[in-house]
Structure 1
Amino acid sequence: MHSLLPFFLAMIAAIVLLQMWATKLKIAYPILLVVAGLLISFIPGLPRIHIDPDMIFFLFLPPLLFEAAWSISFKEMKKWWRIIGSFAFLVVLFTALSVAIVTNYFIPGFGLALGFLLGGIVSPPDAVSTGAITKFVKIPRSTSTILEGESLLNDASSLIIFRFALVTVSTGQFIWQEATLSFLWMVIGGIGIGLILAWIFVQAHKRLPTDAPSDIALTLIEPYFMYWAAEQLHSSGVLAVVSGGLYMSNRRLFFLNSSSRIKGYSVWESFVFILNGIVFLIIGLDLPEIVEGLHAKGIPLSTAIGYGVLVTAVLIIARIISSYAALVATLIFRRSVVPHASSLKRRLQMPLLLGWTGMRGVVSLAAALSIPVTLDDGTHFPYRNLILFITFVVILLTLVVQGLTLPYIIKRSGLFDAFKESGHAEAKQQLKRDLRQHIYQFLKTKYDNSPHDHAGMQKMLQHWEEKSKAADDDWMKGKTKEIFLEMLESQRAYLAELNKNPAIDEELIRTQLYQLDLEEERVKML
């Protein structure tokens, strides 16, 4: 343990340095991490890290999914639920089926069950990779919501396919009746367990005398408990974490105080960043063992690379085909939600670009590493090392090839110039004006008489009426401070009510709420 500790610390330091380097180069940090993982594997003398396949899901997936559920706007997801649902479920199934058919045909001895297993592993695009890549280019809010929502839900659908395929490979049989009932329980049970536990956690936060450290500590264990409880009841732990995370995210304003929200955001951002980095580096460290396994099975490295390139091509083609199918279906059934384009050519380019965003990442790595080494009868799991190697090649190629070219394609094509969401800046300014008016009316209505002879209250009214800033904060004491905090709470209630309007961008609401939290923390320290 003492010999591994410096190595783990060096891994974290390398992740931080690579992230800073990636920011300077203006490329996504997962690209550098996965390349670094590949290069690290060639360094002689490094310790071998053996991870229990049964623990990989439990260690990494719950917090990653939970944080993603807290980050996405559920209101925006509902707005685009048709295309998100089709990409998260139908496209994943179509992609897994395509991989299964192609690998069954081209890889000797690779049956359909193993093909579906591999398809379930590599079918879900990675939200972290896509988000890290698109942050260097401006894309419409609707497009980013679709990509985020898809990546959140397709993890669940792909892992359900993965689980059924794993059972089929292990037992050698697939019973439709049992599979259907099991699927329904995994979906309904997973969602139900997640919502029930999320409600219990919300009540715990509200009723217990928690502070920021205890609130953050609870949020760190909650996704693990949701996942574990659902898995113990043989339902989907992934769906439990996703549904529970979405439930709690929409109610964070009511059970977490401003200090917990601000500090928790920083803690979770760092925690998830380290988890992502570790997973990307782990596969590089495990690569020599995977290659040795390929040689032991008599599979040439060049042949395995060829299989990886083939599967990558199938994934890209299947996603592009699915994108155009979604466009056609939308034009036929929901023409009103198709974004306006300046020309037919630009409209036809949109699915091509959406299809090019399918970078794979952490979930695929976790799923591949979770494959057991042996079957129940003690025999080696068939083609395990080949599946791991193909997964690594897919992630490497999609991150490097698609990840490096996507920002260039977006900028070069100018595609999103025609899809700019008009009025975003105006909406932001209008929201601030409405808030100032709400504040002033709140103070005039509730404190119209007595506070006017109070020096602090006069300054507060002057601050919000004329947007002037006092030279010092001596006036912010006693009753004035109490009124100011009450005023901030009134603004939160106003914003929460305003967010019910589908036309209001929730990103603006969340930004303003974060600023209110910062203001409350500043006032509390006076």
Structure 2
Amino acid sequence: MQSIEVVLAMLLAVVASGYLVRVVPVSLPLPLVQIALGAGIAAISGHGVRLDPEIFFLLFLPPLLFLDGWRIPKVGLFRDKGTILELAFGLVVFTVLGAGLLIHWMIPAMPLAVAFALAAIVSPTDPVAVSSIAARVPIPKRLMHILEGESLLNDASGLVCFRFAVAAVMTGGFSLAAASLTFLWVAFAGLAVGVIVTWVISLAQRWLSRHLGEEAGSPILVNLLIPFGAYLVAEHLDASGILAAVAAGVTMSYVELSGRALATTRVQRAAVWDTVQFSLNGIMFVLLGEQLPGIVQRAAAAVEDSGHVSRWWLLVYALAISAILAALRFAWVWVSLRVTLFKAREAGEPLQRPDWRIVAAVSLAGVRGAITLAGVLTLPLLLPDGRDFPARDLVIFLAAAVILVSLLLASLGLPRLLRGLALPDEPAERREEDRARREAAAAAIAAIEKARHALSEPGAADADLYTNAAVRVMANYQRRLADSAMPGSVAADRLRAADRAEMALWLAALQAEREAIFRLARDYELSDETSRKLVRQIDLMEARYR
């Protein structure tokens, strides 16, 4: 019962963190506030939550990775695929090898395989932590897309490397050839499982809905279960459940393009997933804060194994590892940029050299977060022979310390680094939006004409009614087409200004409608059922304009 109370307190802390981050006088990223609240819970309750590592991994990672894969911009992912792959795979391997060797040299009592495991689990970056920091500073959209794509793929690559390192500790040996073959199976089978599971479930759900119907909430519940299904099937086949969850999310984004889901389902599903993402990320950071006092105590006892007596060596290790990771990331980004510029010059392509602050921001934005925490907590407690896992508490502490240091460095450095940066315009994005608006308006007008002819028979008494209704509905779309016929940027600017004005008027009108309906319901002049129905329609209209 007490554990349930602690979990409820953590959920309450996640809710409180969303408000506290807005009222504290100092600009702090949301994860740091959640960690502080978790530490407060530990100090008050005196009773920690101890989860089985595999259960912890299953509960938290699949839905988060699935959502990352679902929502990542595909155009940006494919456009900058070279840069993203270099960061997501090349940088991860470079970090695992470089940081692993340096950590083992710095802490000889930590076995080399354990050092590689630590380096692997701190290699993935966390887009949620970066986004919370970048919310108050300007970051070019293309750079954010690159960071999001990197974090999506390096979650999988870092965790796969982590599992190989842990397996080497458990078995006492490592074969590069066997590991390479295993990696190919783990990677490709995991990707295939994610794609197949998502398509099969989507097709089955569509068939059942068409022939048997469905309850209103069942599509959302099925959508929530897909990442867990893909993860468990992949793990059962000794493939990567992590990659399966990522592939399932990417596949879901293509399934979504079929447009078969109802509009209300999409609105409700988006709200549910936003809540799940906020809750799971928040709980993991609160859990880190809740376990931090115990982690520090156990790590202080473990530091004696490294030949030091003073607990200050924990801080030295944490800062040194953070500096190693930052230096390796900066070196990789700098070399990668030089190679890209050289290839562009050789091919005769015009390529503008980016501002040095952008390059520094990519290096500084390597913030560790939820994935690192979730992964490191899955370290086994015992070896197969019954001995304690070597330096487990020290590894958990150092991973947690790297999360804290990277959050502090990014929260202090990114705003100062990018303040006053002139962001380039996004002409291609605006042209795409304008073209989509024109084609959508033309398709809407054609559909209205077709529907008018289908609804009204020639000579019918109500033919004028349908004609007048069609004229009113088409007026907005015809204005959009008329504005788009104006030359170049004048048309786009006028169209956007008209949209802003229309949005402000609609919002004011919808707010007045809703208040009138609530007033009638309070005065018992309108039933609860009718008021809920009308308010929901208004809310959906408002969601469109917001």
Q: TM-score, normalised on structure 2?
A: 0.80
The 1:423–1:296 alpha-carbon spacing in structure 2 relative to 1, beyond 3 Å, is closer
Instruction: Using the TM superposition, give the Cα deviation of residue 327 of structure 1 relative to its aligned residue in structure 2, in angstroms.
Output: 0.9
CA contact (8 A) 1:95 1:315 kept: yes
For residue 405 of structure 2, what is the aligned residue in structure 1? 397
Q: 1:312 aligns with which of 319, 322, 337?
A: 322
* 1:23 maps to amino acid: R
Deviation at 1:253, TM superposition (A): 3.8
Structure 1 residues 308 and 176, CA gap change in structure 2 (3 angstroms)? same
Any stretches of 5+ residues in structure 1 without a counterpart?
Answer: 470-516
1:252 corresponds to: 256
Partner of 1:205: 205
Structure-2 separation of matches of 1:455 and 1:280: 59
Q: Aligned residue for 1:387?
A: 395
CA distance in structure 2 between the aligned counterparts of 1:45 and 1:446, rounded to whole angstroms:
64
Contact 1:311 1:394 in 2 (8 A): yes
Residues 211-220 or 327-336, more deviating: 327-336
Match of 1:216 among 204, 215, 220: 220
What is the distance in 1 between the residues matched to 2:32 and 2:348? 34
Deviation track 1:198-246 (CA, whole Å, cap 9, x = no partner) reads 1111102311223441011111111011111101111110111111110
C-alpha distance 247-272 of structure 1, shift in aligned 2 (>3 A): same
What is the CA distance between 1:96 and its match in structure 2? Answer: 1.4
- The answer to whether residue 33 in structure 2 is matched with residue 32 in structure 1 is yes
Quick check: which has more Rg, 1 or 2? 2
Q: Which residue type is aligned with residue 37 of structure 1?
A: G
Shift of 1:396: 0.5
- 2:406 maps to a residue whose letter is T
Quote the Cα distance in structure 2 between the aligned partners of 1:9 and 1:123. Answer: 31
State the AA in 2 paired with 1:381.
F
Structure 1 partner of 2:436: 431
1:48-197 equivalences under 5 Å are 48-197=48-197
- Larger displacement relative to structure 2 (26-35 or 445-454): 445-454
Matched, 1:228 2:227: no
2:465 is the counterpart of 1:455: yes
CA distance in 1, matches of 2:65, 2:280: 12
Question: Take 2:298 and 2:34, find their aligned partners in 1: how far apart are those partners?
Answer: 24
Structure 2 counterpart of 1:268, which letter? W
Q: Secondary structure at the match of 1:419?
A: coil
Partners of 1:437 and 1:520 in 2: CA distance: 27
* Cα distance in 2 for residues equivalent to 1:242 and 1:170: 27
Give, as a single letter, the amino acid of the residue that structure 2 aligns with 1:357. Answer: A
Separation in structure 2 between the aligned mates of residue 418 and residue 218 of structure 1, nearest angstrom: 41
- Once residues 348 and 234 of structure 2 are traced to their aligned partners in structure 1, the CA distance between those partners, rounded to angstroms, is 36
- The one-letter code matched in structure 2 to 1:392 is A
One-letter amino acid of the counterpart of residue 165, structure 1: A
- Does the alignment pair 1:293 with 2:298? yes
Q: Deviation of residue 448 (structure 1)?
A: 6.0
> 1:225 is matched by which residue type in structure 2?
G
Q: Distance in 2 between matches of 1:270 and 1:294?
A: 34
Distance 1:185 1:24, change over 3 A: same
Q: Closer, same or farther in 2 for the Cα pair 1:173/1:339, shift >3 Å? A: farther
Structure 2, gaps ≥5 residues long? 305-309, 480-535
Q: Does 1:330 align with 2:335?
A: no
Do residues 13 (structure 1) and 17 (structure 2) align?
Answer: no
Match of residue 270 from structure 1: 275
Write out per-residue CA displacement over residues 305-347 of structure 1, whole angstroms, 9 at most, x where no aligned residue: 2111111111111111111122112112246899965xx5x53
Whole-angstrom CA distance in 2 between matches of 1:29 and 1:425: 31
SS of the residue corresponding to residue 250 of structure 1 reads: helix
Question: How far 1:440 moved relative to its partner?
Answer: 1.7
User: Per the alignment, do residues 158 and 215 of structure 1 end up closer, same or farther by CA in structure 2, a change over 3 Å counting?
Assistant: same
> Alpha-carbon deviation of 1:521?
6.2
Contact persistence 2:95–2:328 (CA under 8 A): yes
Local SS of the residue matching 2:173: coil
Q: How does 1:410-489 map to 2 (within 5 A)?
A: 410-412=418-420, 414=421, 417-422=422-427, 424=429, 427-444=432-449, 451=456, 453-466=463-476
Displacement, 1:173?
0.5
Distance, in Å, in 2 between the alignment partners of 1:200 and 1:184 is 24
The alignment partner of 2:217 has SS state of helix
- C-alpha distance in structure 1 between counterparts of 2:124 and 2:391, whole Å: 21
- Cα offset for 1:380? 0.4
- CA 250–153 in structure 1, closer or farther in 2 if over 3 Å, else same: same
Which residue in 2 is equivalent to 1:378? 386
Percentage of matched positions with identical amino acids: 31
Is the aligned partner of 1:409 residue 2:408? no
C-alpha distance in 2, partners of 1:38/1:225? 34
| Deviation per residue, 1:332-364 (Å, 9 max, x gap) | 2246899965xx5x5333221111101100010
Preserved CA contact (<8 Å) 1:316 1:356: yes
Q: Which moved more, 1:149-158 or 1:254-263?
A: 254-263
Alignment-derived partner of residue 530 in structure 2: none
Kindly report which structure 2 residues correspond to 1:358-373, keeping only aligned pairs within 5 A, or say none: 358-373=366-381
Answer yes or no: is the 8 Å Cα contact 2:92–2:157 preserved in 1.
yes
Structure 1 residues 18 and 308: alpha-carbon distance in aligned structure 2, compared to 1, 3 A threshold: same
SS at the partner of 1:359?
coil
Native 8 Å contact 1:190 1:237 kept in 2: yes
Q: Determine the C-alpha separation between the residues in 2 that align with 1:456 and 1:289.
A: 71
Higher mean Cα deviation, 312-321 or 205-214? 205-214
Q: Greater shift after overlay, 105-114 or 260-269?
A: 105-114
Q: Please report the TM-score for the alignment, with normalisation by the length of structure 1.
A: 0.83
The amino acid of 1:326's aligned partner reads S
- More divergent stretch after superposition (168-177 vs 27-36): 27-36
The Cα offsets for residues 40-72 of structure 1, whole Å up to 9 and x where unpaired, read as 44x154212111112221110001001111111
Q: Aligned AA for 2:448?
A: L
Displacement after TM superposition at 1:406 (Å): 1.1
- Kindly provide the CA deviation profile for residues 405-443 of structure 1, in whole angstroms up to 9, marking residues without a partner as x: 31232114x1xx153323655654553344223322343
Could you say which residue in structure 1 is the equivalent of 2:247?
243
> Structure 1 residues 520, 40: closer, same or farther in 2, change over 3 A?
closer
For the 8 Å contact 1:330–1:337, the answer to whether it is kept is no
